[in-house]
């Protein structure tokens, strides 16, 4: 078996967004630990971001590599060097970005012709339907890597089949739990589909039917109702996560995504100085744009909560207005010793896994949700766009491990305009933090539930666990295809 695995070559192709690259890179490491060769397709600027991660994996003996293809930013009408979705200043550029991704098809095919050994399969994230054409050309199977949960996949399918266009509020029909949405909470493509995206969405649906299987970044024990339901809708659905748990050492937890904007040793020593489960970690992902007005309210809420906190302000959100407010209000002086502000990128898994962290104020991105679960940390949920309201429903209504901050609808992605509508005031931030950190019986039960899930997550990836066995099934499926193609 080991000799057969040695000849397998998995080609991984993520959408060029942190929320896709990070989990697919982690999954690449999990595959490489099984003895197969893994190549991850990327671009020059993204390769720089992930070089340390891959170098560390290679040093540990894994057969894994990055292959960088030139990204046609300018040919697609994008600014030079715009190679990742976190660099888009407006959603208006998204259609150009997807077009640039599709323009990678020809150079990718030329590169594959020179690979040795030849790829045994392609694993690509769900937003790259054109990769099915590449797989068909080389007569190799393609598997979809889903960066969202089985809950979201199943609920969105049920809603797409229902007549909800004229309703402001509705229950998701024919699912195991009572889940109610407001129309404003649905992803934009569920409410209205821009013409530029109609073609992409149609391609995604068609390529899904051609794929040999779906790999979901989740684990069966956490959402077994929806895993079973999804398997009745699709062939070969395998939960293979949480993939972030492949990062066991401090360096692995630190080197994920961009270069950190804070020294990891200083960060750890600061956290070491705090009481267990006393710190709030506040971070809103790589794509959520937070207005200056909202950032001020977040800061005031964190300060008023009286809990120690680590607050990550994304680089693009650290505007002149925000810096002026921080300076004029002497905010960092006021919170000195109790609050730590990270401007840019933080080692999230490293921070969440620290014993002093007791709550997570977050945007309900699926990767962050899983990382919070794996750390056994209850959450304050603040969804903003895409499928994040689905994740909030799952966290709060299904799992019972989070507290809603009370966001009622999606905010516009990108753009620098202020959005007074839907502004969450500081007192709601403060109150939600206090509820999630509360030591009353309800708070204790919430913490017990998430700590139990953290234990299940770890067991799922251990030898004999559900996700471990599902990765085995994937490798066996690819192996069988290779044997049959001879």
Phi, psi of 11 (to 5 degrees): -105, 115
**CA-based diameter of the chain, in Å?**
70
Q: 4-20 pLDDT, tens per residue?
A: 676 899 999 999 999 99
Q: 178-235 pLDDT, tens per residue?
A: 999 998 998 876 655 555 556 667 777 777 778 999 999 999 999 999 999 999 999 8
Poorest-pLDDT segment among 9-18, 32-41, 293-302, 309-318: 309-318
pLDDT of residue 415: 42
For each of the domains in the chain, give its residue range(s) and CATH number, in order of start.
2-150+193-246+459-485 (3.40.50.2000), 250-457 (3.40.50.2000)
Helix (H) or strand (E) holding 37: strand 37-42
Q: In 263-369, where do the E strands start and end?
A: 279-283, 309-313, 339-343, 357-362
| Residue 267 vs residues 125, 233, 258, 311, 443: alpha-carbon distances, Å | 32, 45, 16, 12, 27
Q: In 199-323, where do the E strands start and end?
A: 213-216, 237-239, 279-283, 309-313
H-assigned helices in 60-104: 94-102
Report d(CA 397, CA 166) in Å as an integer: 25
Spatial strand order of the sheet with 64-68 comes to 64-68, 37-42, 9-13, 121-125, 142-146, 213-216, 237-239
Which pLDDT band, with edges at 50, 70 and 90, does 325 fall under?
very high
For residues 316-340, average pLDDT: 92
| Residue 222 vs residues 219, 248, 334, 361: alpha-carbon distances, Å | 6, 21, 41, 21
| Residue 212 vs residues 136, 161, 208: alpha-carbon distances, Å | 11, 24, 9
Closest CA to 479 of 4, 3, 37: 4
The DSSP secondary-structure symbol of 92 reads G
Report d(CA 295, CA 22) in Å as an integer: 26
pTM to 2 decimal places: 0.94
Q: Residues 172-199, buried b or exposed e (16+ Cβ, 10 A)?
A: beebeeebebeeebbbeebeeeeeeeee
Report d(CA 483, CA 486) in Å as an integer: 6
Q: 405-426 pLDDT, tens per residue?
A: 999 888 865 444 444 457 999 9
Proportion of the chain above pLDDT 70, given as a percent: 93
pLDDT of residue 413: 53
């Amino acid at each position: 078996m080991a000799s057969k695995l040695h000849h397998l070559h998995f080609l991984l192709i993520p959408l060029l967004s942190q929320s896709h690259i990070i989990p697919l890179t982690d999954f690449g490491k999990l595959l490489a630990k099984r003895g197969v060769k893994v190549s991850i397709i990327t671009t020059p600027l993204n390769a720089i971001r992930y070089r340390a991660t891959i170098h560390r994996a290679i040093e540990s003996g894994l057969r894994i590599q990055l292959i960088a293809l030139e990204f046609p930013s300018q040919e697609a009408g994008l600014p030079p060097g715009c190679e990742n979705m976190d660099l888009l200043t407006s959603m208006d550029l998204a259609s150009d970005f997807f077009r640039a991704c599709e323009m990678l098809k020809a150079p990718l095919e030329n590169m594959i012709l020179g690979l040795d050994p030849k790829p045994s399969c392609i694993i690509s994230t769900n937003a790259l339907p054109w990769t099915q054409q590449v797989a068909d050309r080389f007569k190799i199977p393609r598997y979809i890597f889903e960066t969202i949960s089985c809950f979201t996949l199943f609920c969105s399918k049920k809603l797409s089949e229902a007549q909800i266009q004229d309703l402001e509020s509705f229950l998701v029909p024919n699912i195991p739990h009572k889940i109610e949405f407001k129309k404003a909470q649905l992803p934009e493509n569920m409410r209205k589909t821009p013409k530029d995206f109609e073609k992409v969405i149609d391609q995604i649906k068609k390529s899904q039917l051609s794929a040999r299987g779906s790999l979901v970044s989740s684990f069966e024990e956490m959402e077994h109702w929806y895993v079973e339901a999804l398997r009745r809708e699709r062939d070969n659905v395998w939960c293979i996560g949480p993939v972030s748990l492949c990062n066991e050492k401090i360096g692995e937890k630190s080197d994920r995504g961009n270069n950190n904007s804070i020294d990891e040793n200083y960060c750890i020593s600061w956290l070491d100085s705090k009481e267990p489960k006393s710190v709030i970690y506040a971070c809103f992902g790589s794509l959520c744009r937070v207005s200056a007005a909202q950032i001020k309210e977040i800061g005031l809420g964190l300060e008023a909560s009286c809990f120690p906190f680590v607050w990550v302000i994304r680089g693009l959100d650290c505007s002149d207005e925000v810096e002026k407010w921080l300076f004029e209000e002497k905010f960092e002086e006021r919170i000195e010793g109790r609050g730590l502000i990270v401007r840019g990128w933080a080692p999230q898994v490293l921070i969440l896994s620290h014993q002093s962290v007791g709550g997570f104020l977050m945007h309900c991105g699926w990767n962050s949700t899983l990382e919070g679960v794996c750390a056994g940390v209850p959450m304050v949920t603040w969804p903003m766009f895409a499928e994040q309201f689905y994740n909030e429903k799952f966290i709060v209504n299904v799992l019972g491990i989070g507290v809603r901050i009370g966001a009622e609808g999606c905010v516009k992605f990108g753009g620098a305009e202020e959005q007074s509508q839907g502004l969450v005031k500081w007192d709601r931030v403060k109150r939600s933090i206090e509820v999630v950190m509360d030591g009353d019986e309800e708070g204790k039960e919430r913490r017990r539930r998430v700590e139990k899930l953290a234990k299940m997550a770890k067991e799922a990836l251990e030898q004999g666990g559900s996700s471990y066995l599902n990765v085995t099934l994937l490798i066996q499926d690819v192996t069988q295809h290779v044997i049959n193609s001879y």
